[in-house]
Amino acid sequence: MKNICVYCGSSSGKGEAYLSAADALAQALVERDLGLVYGGASIGVMGELARAVMQRGGEVIGIMPEALMRREIGCDHLTELQVVESMHERKAAMAAQSDGFIALPGGMGTLEELFEILTWGQLGFHNKPVGLLNVEGYFDHLIRFLEHAVTQGLLRQQHRELLRAAQDPDVLLDNFLKEPAPLLDIWIEKQDQL
């Protein structure tokens, strides 16, 4: 495992907890010699994470669509800043250059990125691990919702299990390193498999 992609907020959130979590994740990545791949912004949890990895001597690849370079303010002093044409290209480039995916707290953009990579795993397009860093229970409702989707027969338990969660970045990364994700069969034939 060489690089971990982290999806996270372009805002900082209330209080210090989310920024501190970015810092702790940065430490855990650098200690394991794992590079960071992220969206390239200098703002919010995203910027904090990138700066924290760089300050510790780690490697950071930022990937930013041209149209967002101003709004999200491309982060200077990264190991590499890749400027791409579109959001789709950004997400594909982030996925291609990463060996695992973590979501820190964030908003719609973070959730969209997280669910896209989970969906690709569910369809058997990759078998890279995906996990939440559940800082102070930020994702509790989301986890509960996914359990609800399983009980309602709209999400397979096997697919639900593609999303790991931990409160501690060391626990999550050690889990990634020890337990490879399954490569799932692309389909889904019988209703009774739910």
Residue 11 CB, nearest approach to ligand AMP (Å): 5
Residue 185 CB, nearest approach to ligand AMP (Å): 27
The single residue among 1, 11, 81, 156 that binds ligand AMP, judged by CB under 6 A, is: 11
Give the pair of three-digit tokens for residue 188: 């889904």
Closest CA to 129 of 188, 185, 175: 175
Does position 13 bind ligand AMP by CB under 6 A?
no
Does position 89 bind ligand AMP by CB under 6 A?
no
Question: What are the b/e assignments for 23-38, b being 16+ CB within 10 Å?
Answer: bbbbbbbbebebbbbb
Q: What part of residues 18-77 is at the interface with ligand AMP (CB under 6 A)?
A: 39, 41, 68, 72
CA distance 77 to 54: 8
Q: Contact, 60 vs 40, CB < 8 A?
A: no
Does position 110 bind ligand AMP by CB under 6 A?
yes
Q: Contact, 163 vs 130, CB < 8 A?
A: yes
Residue 110 CB, nearest approach to ligand AMP (Å): 3
The single residue among 89, 112, 136, 168 that binds ligand AMP, judged by CB under 6 A, is: 112
Task: Determine if residue 2 is left, alpha or beta; phi over 0 gives left, psi from -120 to 50 gives alpha, anything else beta.
Answer: alpha
The single residue among 100, 106, 131, 169 that binds ligand AMP, judged by CB under 6 A, is: 106
Residue (103 or 184) nearer to ligand AMP, CB: 103
Residue (67 or 183) nearer to ligand AMP, CB: 67
CA distance 165 to 172: 7
Residue (29 or 95) nearer to ligand AMP, CB: 95
Order of strands across the sheet that contains 60-65: 80-84, 60-65, 35-38, 3-7, 100-103, 130-133, 163-166
Residue 95 CB, nearest approach to ligand AMP (Å): 12
Residues that bind ligand AMP (CB under 6 A): 9-11, 39, 41, 68, 72, 87, 91, 106-110, 112-113
